[in-house]
Structure 1
């Protein structure tokens, strides 16, 4: 029951892009060094973020930059860029529909509504978290966390 780790890698990349600002050409190699991920993984993450309209990537020499103000980028948008299905698979249901047990035959129907509500709550929470708030946490850490 874990959100994709690609989401945290994407947030790492976006924070790095913000921090590096216009002074550094942020490439997949540089991001790979910072995240500890393979450059191919980073390129895939950057491609998804670009497709979602969250970043631009310069042709040729490379270099990523934010397309929007960090206040306009939500954690939900970042997550959806990497997993367009959203969170329906956040909590899975084991396959057992074909068993003779009445619980097994109905478990999917019984769990559909509460799992949908959980997914909606996660989406609402992620919509309320902006890249700007994450930048604030990065630049001004709470000593109690």
Structure 2
């Protein structure tokens, strides 16, 4: 699963746990997210390691480890990155240092890519799982 897909599915997991506390086995969440339960269990592990989710065996499944008002989308984003200290934009690791462009490209793009990363994280920090749940509940009431 790509990082771009892991992030929204992780939000889905946390929203499901907030809306259906005590009723969150991975199979049920997987059905809601239309994905494999193994994918959900892997993400559950990452969310647990980040202190966002508690996992119980059996029918209860998962539950939020913190109130939904205290879990930002930035927290979720950082929890499910493919590797620690990953960035939105990975640079190619070995440009040709003897080429005028290759020898200078990393230095040239470091600042704009860093600014983009900071902007995304700052925007995600403004939204919480509680806000996501509120929007979902409004949609549920409109059905």
Query: Could you say which TM-score interval applies, normalised by the shorter chain?
Result: 0.7 to 0.9
SS at structure 2 position matched to 1:121: helix
Counterpart Cα distance in 1 of 2:54 and 2:38: 17
Query: Contact conserved, 1:72 with 1:130, CA < 8 A, in 2?
Result: yes
Aligned residue in 1 for 2:121: 123
Q: CA RMSD in A?
A: 2.0
1:21 aligns with 2:25: no
Structure 1 residues 29 and 3 mapped into 2: Cα distance closer, same or farther (>3 Å)? closer
Structure 1 residues 47 and 3 mapped into 2: Cα distance closer, same or farther (>3 Å)? closer
TM-score w.r.t. length of structure 2: 0.84
TM-score w.r.t. length of structure 1: 0.83
Structure 1 residues 121 and 34 mapped into 2: Cα distance closer, same or farther (>3 Å)? same
Size of the aligned set, in residue pairs, is 137
Aligned residue in 1 for 2:63: 65
Aligned residue in 1 for 2:76: 78
